[in-house]
Amino acid sequence: MFFARASSHRLSPVDAEGVDLVCASVDLGDEARGTLTAAMPDLLVLPLRESPALSPASDLLFQETFAQHCGRQAALDLLMEYLLILLLRHLMDSTAVSTGILAALADARLSKAVTGMHQHPERAWSLESLAEGAGMSRARFANHFRDTTGHTVLDYLTSWRLTVAKTYLKRGKTLKAMAPLVGYTSPAALTRIFVQRTGKTPAHWLRDDLAKTDA
């Protein structure tokens, strides 16, 4: 079971013998949190029999959890990352999500454009270049992307670039250094978009984010 968002819940075993239970909190990071969780159902329940790869991975997770081997925490962290990948693959391969970024990634044509934007936010992407990469006409690509994700192509690209910029800010990069890394020609251009989208300058956003973390 995976809760995409914080939720009060109670688990009640149906077997008198009880259950073995492992719980974990997953931090998707700023780059993925908004786009992924928005595309996921509040609760994902995945029976092991529906994912052949999930069962052996779960077995390893339980073995590491209840043993006290050297490197236990590192192994658990890596296993949880792998389990999350399996869950996302299941969502993309099933009919559980029909809209959102996961649906776009499951689309053979749209996935090329989304992957390109994710991997290279610094490129001077245009609707034409993304449509060409997807093997679609400009109008058909724009409509299909909007219908699938709920966003226009350039709106999604801008949101992704700002998400990456926020990560760079928290790593201590200067505006001058990061602007070209996220597709903007100058710190002023990046700041202007940042204020339009967040209502704050990058410096003010970072200050508030650090204050929230400390709290």
pLDDT tens for each residue of 61-97: 888 888 888 998 899 889 888 888 888 777 777 666 6
Q: Is the predicted pLDDT of residue 32 greater than 60, yes or no? A: no
Please give the pLDDT value at position 133: 92
Average predicted confidence (pLDDT) for the chain: 86
DSSP state, 171?
A: T
Q: Considering the entire predicted model, what is its pTM?
A: 0.72
Q: How confident is the model at residue 38 (pLDDT cuts 50, 70, 90)?
A: low
- Residue 106 CA to residue 98 CA, distance in Å, equals 9
206 sits in which H/E element: helix 202-214
Report how far apart the first and last C-alpha atoms of the chain are (Å, whole number). 29
pLDDT of residue 33: 58
147-172 pLDDT tens trace: 998 899 999 999 999 999 999 999 99
CA proximity to 24, closest of 72, 84, 70: 84
